[in-house]
Amino acid sequence: MHLERNVSLAPYTTLRIGGPARFYTRVTTYAELIEALGFARAEGLPSFLLGGGSNLLVADEGYPGLVIHLGLAGDTVVDGELHEVAAGTEWDSFVRGACELGYSGVECLAGIPGLAGGTPVQNVGAYGQEVAQTIARVTALDLETLATVSFANSECRFAYRQSLFNSTHRNRYIVTAVRFRLSPEGRPNLTYADLKQHFGDARPAPLEVYEAVRGIRRSKGMLLVEDDPDSRSAGSFFKNPVIPVGQLEGIAKAAGVASVPNWPSGVENAKLPAAWLLDQAGFHKGFALGEVGISSRHTLALINRTGRATCVDILRLRDAIVAEVQGRFGIRLEQEPVYLA
């Protein structure tokens, strides 16, 4: 294990924000991971597992413990419909590989930054798919016992942007591998409006959907492109709120519109696009507040406009948005990226 001190975390996040980790190590093997955890335990330090840094906001003061940067490499093993991927694999390269082999099930999740091991944690979803639909098993290291444990899909307690790994059992497990059950039929799922519009009645192969989703993400600034300020973000900064259907009318009234865009979510509830709420509250695409702002292509992405922003800058904008949306519509937006301090 190679241990470093006072390592700036900003370069390891897609927002390019954050102070130093007191201790930092990058692990590429299971043995190094165990060694790093042992070090943190012996020193009485908190530890944080860093993956792709694409859903992360790090405080300007940095982190007072050990950051373990996960790079648990490994091949993807395909056994019939089952594809087992190591946690440290770039998510998008796994998706592309599966699509090239003609499998469907994750093609709508193309172009999402980060590592495969991070996807079950927040149940990554986009364009009509979420990983909960195709994950068969998650293998993890139990930090309490240092034993390897395996969870069937139903044991992961998946919900919108949620699993046991980021809720009831937060910080208890480190995902080491994820097994997906993909369909060799190659019949992609085209339920999302953007995709329906793109393909019409065509029956595209998984790889064509993969390319189309990347194109849509690029047009929304949701694909990481070097030197593109719109991609210095952590993706969506707020979750899409779920509210009782009965509240929709009041929101429409407050916004002065005939109807509010929404999708059914469970019984009697509706999910609203947080991006729409931001727009209605005066936070439009391209909005700037000092060094930070809102992506010029998607309202839901807060960005490090200049590359020189601090965490405090982002928090100031976040708080202004939350207060305005709460004041106008009575909805308290929840932050989506993980906060590390």
CA distance 298 to 59: 24
**Residues shown for the chain:** 341
Smallest gap, in angstroms, from Cβ of residue 251 to ligand EPU?
A: 13
Q: How are beta strands 20-27 and 3-8 bridged, if at all?
A: antiparallel
Catalytic residue among 137, 161, 179, 318: 161
Which span sits near ligand EPU by CB under 6 A: 39-47, 98-106, 236-244, 314-322? Answer: 236-244
Neighbours of 175 (CB within 10 A): 25
Kindly identify the residues of this chain, within the stretch 184-213, that bind ligand EPU according to CB under 6 A: none
CA distance 230 to 218: 10
Kindly identify the residues of this chain, within the stretch 270-289, that bind ligand EPU according to CB under 6 A: 273, 275-276, 279, 285
| Of residues 55 and 310, the one with the C-beta less far from ligand EPU | 55
CA distance 80 to 327: 53
Q: For residue 49, what are the contacts with CB-CB under 8 A and spacing of at least 6? A: 68, 70, 174
**222 is a site residue for ligand EPU (CB under 6 A):** yes
Catalytic residue among 107, 130, 291, 336: 336
**127 is a site residue for ligand EPU (CB under 6 A):** yes
**Number of DSSP helices (H) and strands (E) in the chain, helices first:** 7, 19
Instruction: Tell me, yes or no, if 236 is annotated catalytic.
Output: yes
**298 is a site residue for ligand EPU (CB under 6 A):** yes
Give the residues across from 139 on adjacent strands.
150, 177
Neighbours of 126 (CB within 10 A): 18
Classify 204 as helix, strand or coil: coil
Give the residues across from 83 on adjacent strands.
78, 180
Classify 86 as helix, strand or coil: strand
Smallest gap, in angstroms, from Cβ of residue 178 to ligand EPU?
A: 18
| Of residues 41 and 332, the one with the C-beta less far from ligand EPU | 332
Q: What single letter denotes the amino acid at residue 27? A: V
Q: For residue 42, what are the contacts with CB-CB under 8 A and spacing of at least 6? A: none
| Residue of this chain nearest to ligand EPU (CB atom) | 235
Smallest gap, in angstroms, from Cβ of residue 125 to ligand EPU?
A: 6
Catalytic residue among 54, 236, 295, 296: 236
**235 is a site residue for ligand EPU (CB under 6 A):** yes
121: part of which helix (H) or strand (E)? Answer: none
Kindly identify the residues of this chain, within the stretch 74-93, that bind ligand EPU according to CB under 6 A: none
| Of residues 7 and 109, the one with the C-beta less far from ligand EPU | 109
Instruction: Tell me, yes or no, if 187 is annotated catalytic.
Output: no
Smallest gap, in angstroms, from Cβ of residue 283 to ligand EPU?
A: 10
Smallest gap, in angstroms, from Cβ of residue 229 to ligand EPU?
A: 16
Instruction: Tell me, yes or no, if 154 is annotated catalytic.
Output: no
Burial class (CB in 10 A: 0-12, 13-18, 19+), 325: buried
**335 is a site residue for ligand EPU (CB under 6 A):** no
**236 is a site residue for ligand EPU (CB under 6 A):** yes
CA distance 129 to 192: 9
Smallest gap, in angstroms, from Cβ of residue 90 to ligand EPU?
A: 17
Which span sits near ligand EPU by CB under 6 A: 90-98, 232-240, 312-320, 322-330? Answer: 232-240
Catalytic site positions: 161, 236, 336
Binding site for ligand EPU (CB under 6 A): 126-127, 220, 222, 235-236, 239-240, 261, 273, 275-276, 279, 285, 298-300, 336
